[in-house]
Structure 1
């Protein structure tokens, strides 16, 4: 029992070490050769806040390396200038991504404008995708129904099918035909809605180019 207890502790510690190492932002070699201005530039260009340096500080603490705050902040400032553009905002919005509020007032308006337009594109595309999924789902269901009807009708006319079973199959075919009729009534409207949604998306995207 005691050996099992120690085994569990050993496994838990191993998993904890793996988790902690997976969270490290920099490796040992990167810490020892760090150019903190470049690291700050990369973080800023990726929209990370200046507080992200705390993650680097933790990653490098075991190797006796402390970040150069001034160099990091100088690089970060330049990186943020690259990040806070209309195009970056648009790309983030189009992917449906969120963002950190790192942009200075002078650049935030253009970044936010791009983000909002990108979000609109994302929403239009999502609407079209949902309609496409619904349309395809109905088509697949209709195909399944028609296959079931064919299968049941083959059993109905088979000489080996008992009368009781034949009656059940006839009732099932009736229900399936009713469901198929409802789907066929629904498909044209859904197809038109899908066409209009895709058209709205394509027109919107063409205006952004």
Structure 2
């Protein structure tokens, strides 16, 4: 790694560290709703209470202001209740969000993990189904191009065109047929994988609390 790349990496890490330890203004520290703060922190990026508590204290440390611990605890509990539900885990995962259940209560964590795995399967299946549609559209386009080449080749034969012109079209036609065959094989693999995923994922199951 060159010197310039190392410097860029150092700056990037510094920016990430600073963004994770944002310092609040004195006025914000004085007026902050710490219950809302803790709740939003957990919902946006699940973490332990000690971690969120440390972030809150660090944000106002230079102003000599300490966050209200009771409000932080109440907000943390509210955030956990809002985030650690089957519905939220299911719907957020289907949106492609990175869901973490490690900090949810032990009493529901195992069940939420099952929901998370199932939702990920459904999400991947939906992505794969979209890939199948796009691949089929691509094959349709390739086939139209092949038909055009075949038509041009027939016209060359009919007009007794020079052999080198015919050879060029034959090579192009063979290349296009090979491209279509590869695309069709890829499509078959995607269909096979989708079938396996459908059997594994209960696509129509909805999780509600």
Instruction: Report the equivalent of 1:207.
Output: 205
Per the alignment, in what secondary structure is the counterpart of residue 206 of structure 1?
A: coil
CA contact (8 A) 2:153 2:170 kept: no
1:158-208 Cα deviation digits (max 9, x unpaired) = 9xx9x5xx61x322211222244442796499389659949949x943333
Gaps of 5+ in 2: 1-7
**Comparing both chains, which one has the higher relative contact order based on Cα–Cα distances under 8 Å and sequence gaps of 6 or more?**
2
Once the two structures are superposed, the pairs formed by residues 49-128 of structure 1 within 5 Å of their partners are 49=47, 50=49, 51-94=51-94, 95=96, 97-99=98-100, 101-128=102-129
Stretch of structure 1 that moved more, 172-181 or 99-108? 172-181
Q: What are the superposed Cα offsets for residues 85-108 of structure 1, whole Å, 9 maximum, x if unpaired?
A: 111221233226241511111221
Indicate which of 33, 36, 39 corresponds to 1:35: 33
TM-score, with length taken from structure 2? 0.64
Rg larger for: 1
The CA distance in 2 between the partners of 1:86 and 1:37, in whole Å, is 23
Structure 1 unaligned segments of length 5 or more: list them: 1-11
- CA drift of 1:66 comes to 2.6
- Does the aligned pair in 1 maintain the 2:39–2:76 contact within 8 Å? yes
1:156 to 1:32, Cα distance in 2 relative to 1, 3 A: farther
- Alpha-carbon distance in structure 2 between the residues aligned to 1:145 and 1:56: 64
**Aligned length, in residue pairs:** 189
Indicate the RMSD between aligned Cα atoms, in angstroms. 4.3
* Residues 68-124 of structure 1 deviation map (CA, whole Å, 9 limit, x = unaligned): 334212320232122111112212332262415111112213322321221121121
Write the distance in 2 (CA, Å) between the matches of 1:33 and 1:207. Answer: 44
Distance in 2 (alpha carbons) for counterparts of 1:52 and 1:155: 75
